Structures are given as C-alpha cells and as structure tokens.
Amino acid sequence: MEDEDEFFDTNSLASYISVGKRRQKDNGYLSLSRNTIYHSAVDLEMESLEPTVTKDDQYKVSNNNKTVTYSEWKDRTWRCFTKSDLVVDFVLAYEDDGNIRKAEVRDVFEKRLEDIGLILERESCQKISFVKIHAPHEVLCTYAEILKLRMPIRDDSRVQKEEPNLINSMVNKALDYMNVKLDEEKFPPEKYVLQSVFSREKDYLFDTKADHFFTTSIRIAVVWYILEREKFSVEEHDTGIKKLISDKIYKAAYPLHDGDLYTEGSQRQLLFHEWASVSKWIKFQPIDNVKEYFGVKLALYFSWLGFYTHMLIPAAFIGICCILYGVITLPSDILSQDICKSSVLMCPLCDRNCDYWRLSDTCTNSKIIYVIDNPATIFFAVFMSFWAALYLELWKRYSAEVTHRWGLTGFDVQCEPPRPEYLRRLAKTKKRKVNVVTQVAEPVVPFWRVKLPTLILSFTVAIFWVCLAIGIVFGIVIYRMTLLASDKLYAEDTIYYTYIMPVTAAVLNLICIMILNFFYTYLAERLTELELQRTQTEYDDSLALKIYMFQFVNYYSCIFYIAFVKGKFVGYPAKYNRIFGYRQEECSPGGCLLELTIQLAIIMIGKQALNSALEMITPFLKKMYNSFQVSTGMKKRSSEEHIICCNQWTEDYTLSDLEPQGLFNEYLEMVLQYGFVTIFVTAFPLAPLFALINNILEMRLDAQKIIKYYRRPVPQRVKNIGIWMPVMDVLGRISVVSNAFIIAFSSHFIPQLVYYLRKGGNRDMNGYLDFSLSRFDVRHFLNGTGPERTNFNVSECYYTDYRHSSEHNYHRPVEYWHIMAARLAFVVVYQNLVGFVISAVQWVIPDVPKKLSDQIKREEYRTNETIIKHETDRAKKLRNSTPNINSIPGLFPETNGDLHLEGPSTVHFRGNPRNSLYHDVIDS
C-alpha cells in the first residue's frame, strides 16, 4: 500500500461485511477478528457505520479522506507488495528462532537475489516471516532466453482456416448435442499463435511490452529457476532453495494462488467450480487453462487421465455387450443346463469332514460362469489386446499435439543439478570430479566401495519384500486349505466354499496388500536414499522401479495363482498332491473363473475406493491441522504472535506442499488399474466399466484436492509422462500372453472345441459334462481320507479331470493330451496373431500425425520468413539512416569529393583532409 495509514484487517472487514445489515456491538464485532492480535482503527471506525449490503464492490469504507471499496483494497493487498503495486511472484517463509548463522545465510542469499535483479520485500511482524519476491521485466527477458522458452512472436501473415469435413462436422454436432464441450465464455479457445525461442537479440520478433506477455506461470518458473541455482555461501554446493529448506533455514518456498476459492474472476475459483466439480463430470477438461495455472507436468497428467478415461468408453461398452450376450444366450447353454439337472455325486472336497455333494448344487455357479465365459469372451480378449495397442499409439499422437501447442517441440531437459540431500550426505567427501556439462566440481561416490554395495543392498531388500508378498499369498492359500479341512460346521455347505470363502480370502488379501504397501513405500524411500542418486530424475526412476515391482507382485500374485495354478495340480482322489499335509484347493466343475472374478472385483474396486477416500481425507486433515496450529499458535515458543490471515501468502502457507513425487502415486494407481483392465480382462469383462466410473470421479476429485488443499505448484516442463509409457507398453504385451493362457487353461473354450471336433462338428454339445468328468471308485480312498460320516450310499463319485476310470488305473486318456495340445497351440496362435496385429497397428499409426508434422514445418518456415523480413527492414532503415560521405559538404574540401570505399574498413582518398571527421563517419 502506498499510504501507511491506509490499513484493512481482512478478517475483521470480511466478517463485518458478512454480517450484512445487522449492527454489531463493540465486543461482538471485535470478537469476529479471531485470528488477529490487534484491532485496527478501521475496526473501531466501522462500528459507527451502517453498512449497506449490495453486490460485491458496494461495500465502501472511509479511511481518512480516501474512500475505497473492499474489492479494490483486497486486489491491491491480497497478492501485492505492501508499499507498491508490484505483484508477488514467489514467497519465502521462515521462522526467526534467534539463530544467528541462519539469519546470516538468509541475508546472503537474499542479497544475491537482489543483485540478480529480483525485487524483495520482507514482512517480519508475525511469528512466521515472509520474503515476497517480484521478477521485473529485465530479469524475465534474461532468463526466458536462458531457459529457451518458446514465446509468441509478431506474425502478420494470415492463417488459412481449414474447412471442416463431413466427419468433423458430424462429431461436433454430436458433442454439442451431448453438451460436453466447455463454455467458450468462461474458457475462450486459445487463438493460434506462432511461437519461437525467445531471444533478446531478436526483440523485434516479440511484443515484450504487451500485457501478460510473460504469463504468471512463466514468472513463477523463472523465479524458481533462480532460487534453485543461486548460491548462499562460498562452498561450492551450497546452492539452491531446496538445500536451504532441507537445512531448515527457510520453512517453505512457494508461488501464490491467484485468490481463494471464492475470489471472483480468479482462475482458481473458475477451475474449482468448472473443472474440479463432480457435477461437471461429463464436460471436457479445460486442459489449456490447467496448463497455464499449474504447469505442463500436472496438466499432462490430467490430459493423459482424460484421454485414458475416454478410451475406456468403447472397452466398457464391449464388455457390457459381452455380459449381455452371456445373459441372453444362457438358456441355450447345454453345460449349465446339464449341471442343474444332473444327479451326479461329486467326490468330497476335503478329507474326513467333507461329505459327497451333488453337482446340481453348483447350478447358479455354472450360470454365472457362462455369463462371464462365453463365445463373446474370445472376441473381447482379442479386442482388448488390439485396444491396448491402439490406446498407446493414439496417446502418442495426442501427446505430440498437446505438447506442441504448449510450446515444447524440441524441448530437452537441461542438465539437472545434484539433489540437496545428495550434497548434504557427501558434504565431507574430499574426492571431487568436474562435471563435463556444468564445469563444476562435484563430490564423487566411489562405485565399488559405496555405490555398488548400496545398490545390491537396496534391491536385495526389495526382492526380499517381493518374496514376502508372495509368502503372504501362499499363507492365505494355506489358510483356506486348513479352514476347509478343519471346519466341520460348513463342511457340507457348498455355498460356503463357493462364495463365502473366496470373498473373505479376497478381503483378507486386500487388507494385507494395503498394509504391505504402507510399510514398503516407506522402506523403498529409505533404500533409494541409501543409493545416493545424484539427481531428482535418477531418484524418481529408481524409486518408481522398486515400488512398481513390489506393487505388481503384491496386487497380481494372488490373481495369477487363481488363474494359472489353483486346481491345475490337485491330483485325484486316490492320490492327492498335498502341501504341508493339506490337499490343494480345487476349482468347481465350472472352473476357477468365478473365484478369479470375485478376487479381481474386490481387489480392484476395493483398492480404488480406499485410495480415493485416503486421497481426499489425508490432505483435508493435514490442512485442518495446519490451520489449527496457525490459529492457536501451537508452534510459538515465548512469543504470543501468530499468522494473521489477511493476504494470499499467509493463506497459502497453511496449505500442503505438492512434493516432487506428488504425481507418482496418481500415476501408479492408474497404471495398476490399467494392468487389471488389460491383463485379466477375460476373467472380468466389467473391469473397463468399473475403471471408467472410478476415473470419472478420480479426475474431478484429484483436481479438487490439488486446488483446495495444496499450494500452487511450480510449473515444470516435460515432454511426456516419463517412465509410465514403457511400463504400459510392457503391460500390454503381458496382457496378450495372460489372456491367451486364461482362455486356454481357465475357461471351457478349448475342451468344448475339442469335444465339438471329436463329434465331427455336431453342434449338439450333449454329453460334454460326462466328457469333462472322471469316475472314482470309493473303495480306493486311502485310509483316513474318505468321509467319516456320509448321507449317501454310493459306490463311486465323480471329480473334474480327464482320467481313466478302470480299477487302480487312473492314467491320462488320449483326450487329455489332445486338449493339452490344443491349449498350447491356441496360446501360440493367439499370441502370434494378436502380436502381428499390434505390430501392424504400431507401424500404420505414426507417433506424430502428418498434419502436425506439416504444421511444424510450416511454422519453422514462417518463423524464418518473419526473421528475414524484419532483418531486411532493419538493414534498410540502418542504410537509410547512415549519411553518404560523398554528399557531406565540406567534409573533404581538398579531395573534391574524390573518395571511394572498398569494404567496411578500407578508405582510399587523394590529398590530405583538413579534419578527421571521417573517422567518426566510418565508425558509425
């Protein structure tokens, strides 16, 4: 503020305004300033006023002889310097604990920032002190050139509008009809602007004097770049604000939001209501506005999440159609009908306690399995393999278009500085090595003595935890074996071991997964810290590799067990294969597909629900805790001061900081979901539908969480989503093999196909049930393995397998080997056929669209033409402004004008000039 006597207490004023026409008594009004340690003169003056409640700017307050509205006052003070109208681009916060060394370091650092050209203003009247930073125009120009930012250039050429074709017109009409487009009044579409790398030498290309030429995100990025690299002592690696924060010299460094959630006209308020609202779930995302406010890195995540969610729509539709086909054709399924009508008695599922059971008890189970496993499932599996490849290729194209529009064409990450934690741990290391890029001597980690042992230790512990996750799955399997063998109460209840036991086991597995994740994430961070990774990128990649490796095993191991192991090596009643004396689990006559579906549904849906709840609750609780600390002064020692929430920097201080790995968990959650959707989609055709529903909510809740509970992140430039792209590519290839094996070994497709061909192509599948069952003579039970008590008088029972039924000869028949050969052949053919289609898709669809490639070439040409034109015009102006030496009267009176120039520096003349003015002319 320009006048020191002009002062407003925001809490008091805002509270006063909210009262409306009601008068406030002295104590009643003053109590409204709950967070202040004083009462301003304005508070006392306003008590005598009768406010008139109208809209927004109609609240007027007289202070001395100057009348300003509340909005005018707030606009001037909320995000600006106190004694000027300079906008605050960045804020440093610290607590003065009386430590002289810390104060000296802060003084040195801030002095260096001012030497660079940044404008600083200090505010030290509260418990938390703030340093407000403003980047002037000259500094922005200098560092925009250093950072090689692509900025809009003057372009007088007209861009020919493309004529919409029939398909585009139809799509636009459909989108208008569905009302999914953004409101152009609130989110005006960005105009096409030709961009070029900023250069001060070519200032004629850029309209640097235009309003908002340097956007807020650029201003923040420039200041952060300076803060990261500025030294604060003579020590070589005492550099950057990150190290200052890690050394607790500063408490925080953050850019400001452009208002609170209710500031009219602010981007934060607009995005909160129009983007982060769940009620806007059907609308497109304002990605360009998100990029301008949060930066490319965060906007690219939401672009990818939105693109992935839209791509799930056809997958979810086909999955629903697959289920509907199963429901519609269920009455014509011979196998389920035969099971429901069957009088066959099956062999006991456990030793001693279990009795024989009727096959018809699994009637409902067989119908559900057919709904999941029907002829349409094969088409769906092929479709999803093709979908995965198409999704990745189309994302590459869309990503190329988006990043080009955001000025990242040709962008390369510059050489990263060392991490502050890395420098701090190696502060006493004497060995140094000059970095070939930065030409700065950096500490060196001995590879054989330090680096290699820590890497071995880190990944050894990671592998141990992977084995522990597998051990947990094995323990759950043993738990189910023992429960089935020892529980006499439910021994005769087929519903118990068909539905209840799989559900309880899946819930138990999910609980173990979440607990292991919590401990392993903490352990992985500590292990990665031990590795002494030099840069943040190296640290993030190493951490991502360990965590994803563990998460993959933790989430998928139990599912892989049910899909490929359970029921495959059981043996037969006369000779069961046992583990620790317990019989292995068997699948129902319809196979393990139902249990696999239950496991997938509980883990996938339960994981997503728990993560969504934690993602919203945790930042909210942290924000409430920070606000409580600030308002009650819990952190103060002897001082009675605490933060006065009357401006943006104090409001934002109570928010949480979005860590460098802030998006890591978001990407990890979605990539794990992508694995569920692709690897096991044959067993759970509704997985894309549940993923679609989750992502619609996830997208809006993530946006709400970031806007509401986190400080504004520093904009970061990235070209792609990083390591997650190759991870999804690998998952797509694994899904081809996984779905092939599920169809071949977990479904009835191959056995039914062999039976169909065995009967000469007869469509009548009567007799297949008997074909898939084997008889067992109950006299061949080993001692102690048959039922102790039975309600049936039987001489033989049936079990699911392909074996001879002759006495003491339960060998494999030739039909079993035919089926096994058909299964292996199907896996080979399916994998190669689908792999060929995927390769063809990747070859046909280029990563960069031809239209975009032509546009890039056209922009380069136009930029060069613009540069040539301006250089030519400038040369002409310079030539016209340079005086003709021969035409200057009296310059060389004795030469009679007999002078000519050869080249820029050679002068020939006859005679002796009487003065040396020509030297100045030539120099000019």
Comparing CA positions, the residue from 300, 304, 273, 272 lying closest to residue 288 is: 300
Output the pLDDT for position 876: 83
Whether the CB-CB separation of 406 and 399 falls below 8 Å is answered with: no
* Residue 235 to residue 418: CA distance in whole angstroms: 14
d(Cα 590, Cα 588) in Å, to the nearest integer? 5
- With contact defined as beta carbons under 8 Å apart, do 415 and 438 qualify? yes
Q: How many residues does the chain have?
A: 924
The token duo for 462 is 């990671």
Cα–Cα distance for residue pair 534/419, rounded to 1 Å: 6
pLDDT at 41: 31
Tell me the average pLDDT across 568-584. 76
pLDDT at site 588 = 65
What mean pLDDT is predicted for residues 135-163?
A: 79
Q: Distance between CA atoms of 584 and 577, rounded to whole angstroms?
A: 7
- In sequence order, which ranges of 230-295 are alpha helices (DSSP H)? 241-246, 267-274, 287-294
Helix (H) or strand (E) holding 90: strand 90-95
537 or 617: which leads in pLDDT: 617
pLDDT-derived band of residue 609, with 50, 70 and 90 as boundaries? Answer: confident
User: Rounded CA gap, 814 and 836, in Å?
Assistant: 33
Q: Is the pLDDT of residue 51 over 60?
A: no
CA–CA distance, 753 with 762 (Å, rounded to integer): 11
**Per-residue pLDDT, 163:** 62
Q: Which two tokens stand for residue 761?
A: 């192509």
- Mean pLDDT for the chain? 75
> What's the mean pLDDT in 726-739?
88
CB 312 within 8 A of CB 695: yes
Nearest-10 crossing angle of helices 593-632, 536-564 = 150
DSSP 231: B
Give φ, ψ of 178 to 5 degrees.
-80, -10
pLDDT (mean) for 758-763: 65
- Percent of the chain that is helix, strand, coil (3-state, to 5): 55, 10, 35
**Structure confidence at residue 165 (pLDDT):** 67
How far apart (Å, rounded) are the C-alpha atoms in residues 288 and 401?
12
Q: How confident is the model at residue 308 (pLDDT cuts 50, 70, 90)?
A: very high
Angle at 443 between CA 441 and CA 447, to 5 degrees: 125
833-871 b/e (C-beta count within 10 Å ≥ 16 → b): ebeebbeebbeeeeeebeebeeeeeebeebbeebbeebe
**pLDDT for 831:** 87
HEC per residue, 191-215: CCCCEEECCHHHHHHCCCCCCCCCC
Rounded Cα distance, 846 and 416, in Å: 31
pLDDT the model gives residue 434: 61
The pair of three-digit structure tokens given for residue 921, joined into one six-digit string: 């002319």
Q: 640, 633 in Cβ contact below 8 A?
A: yes
Spell out the domain ranges in the chain. Answer: 84-155+193-256, 295-416+447-630+647-751+824-844, 417-444
pLDDT of residue 238: 74
Determine the average pLDDT of the residues in 421-425.
68
How far is it, in rounded angstroms, from Cα 101 to Cα 107?
10
The predicted pLDDT at position 471 comes to 82
The rounded percent of the chain whose pLDDT value lies above 90 is 13
Cβ–Cβ < 8 Å for 705, 619:
yes
Write down the H helix ranges in 633-679: 648-653, 664-679
| Residue 437 CB neighbour total at 10 angstroms | 9
Instruction: For 77-119, write each residue's pLDDT tens digit.
Output: 577 887 778 889 999 999 888 888 888 899 999 999 999 999 9
What's the pLDDT at 642? 54
Query: What span, in angstroms and rounded, lies between the C-alpha atoms of 293 and 274?
Result: 14
User: Is 382 exposed, middle or buried, given 0-12, 13-18 or 19+ CB atoms closer than 10 A?
Assistant: middle
- The position carrying tokens 């994740």 is 517
Q: CA separation (Å) from 101 to 107, 238, 244, 248, 716?
A: 10, 14, 12, 12, 32
Nearest C-alpha neighbor of 743 from the set 392, 382, 404? 382
Tell me the per-residue pLDDT of 316-367, one tens digit each, with 9 for 90 and over: 999 999 999 999 998 888 888 888 888 888 888 777 777 888 888 888 888 8
Per-residue pLDDT tens digits for 482-520: 666 555 444 455 555 555 666 777 777 778 877 887 788
Q: CA-to-CA distance for 737 and 835, rounded, in angstroms?
A: 10
Neighbours of 757 (CB within 10 A): 12
pLDDT at 717 > cutoff 70 = yes
Give pLDDT, residue 415. Answer: 53
What is the model's pTM? 0.79
> Could you tell me the pLDDT band of residue 300, with boundaries at 50, 70 and 90?
very high
| Burial class of residue 789 in the structure, from the number of CB atoms within 10 Å of its CB (0-12 exposed, 13-18 middle, 19+ buried) | exposed
Calculate the CA dihedral of residues 364, 365, 368, 369 and round it to 10 degrees: -150
pLDDT of residue 712: 92
Structure confidence at residue 52 (pLDDT): 38
| Sign of the Cα pseudo-torsion (241, 641, 711, 520, in order) | positive
SS (H, E, C) 587-623: CECCECHHHHHHHHHHHHHHHHHHHHHHHHHHHHHHH
DSSP single-letter state for residue 418? P
Could you give the CA distance from residue 682 to residue 749 in angstroms, rounded to a whole number? 12
The full 3-state SS of 751-781, as one line of letters, equals HHHHHHHHCCCCCCCCCHHHHHEEEEEHHHC
Is it the case that residue 546 has pLDDT exceeding 70?
Answer: yes
Residue 918 pLDDT > 80:
no
Whether 528 and 664 have beta carbons less than 8 Å apart is answered as no
Structure tokens at 590: 């319809």
**Contact of 397 with 703, CB cutoff 8 Å:** no
Q: Which two tokens stand for residue 200?
A: 């001060």
Task: Output the pLDDT for position 287.
Answer: 92
First-to-last alpha carbon distance for the chain, in angstroms, is: 48
- CA 4/CA 110 separation, integer angstroms: 25
Indicate if the pLDDT at residue 294 is higher than 60.
yes
User: For the residues of 73-132, what is the DSSP string, one character each?
Assistant: HHHHHSSB-SSS-PBP-EEEEEE--S-HHHHHHHHHHHHHHHHHT-EEEEE-SSSEEEEE
Strands (E), 3-63: 60-63
Task: Tell me the residue type at 848.
Answer: V
**Residue 577 in 3-state DSSP?**
coil
3-state secondary structure of 119: strand
Q: How many other CB atoms are found less than 10 A from the CB of residue 596?
A: 27
Q: What is the pLDDT of residues 360-412, one digit of tens each?
A: 888 888 888 888 888 888 889 889 888 998 999 999 999 988 888 888 776 66
DSSP assignment, residue 451?
I
Rg (CA), the chain: 37
CA 103 to CA 111: how far, in whole Å? 12
CB 801 within 8 A of CB 584: no
Query: Given its phi and psi angles, is residue 195 left (phi above 0), alpha (psi -120 to 50 degrees) or beta?
Result: beta
Q: What is the pLDDT of residues 551-561, one digit of tens each?
A: 888 888 888 88
Q: What distance in Å separates the CA atoms of residue 546 and residue 463, rounded to the nearest whole number?
A: 9
In the predicted model, is pLDDT for residue 6 greater than 60? Answer: no
Of 255-259, 278-282, 761-765, 897-901, the least confident: 897-901
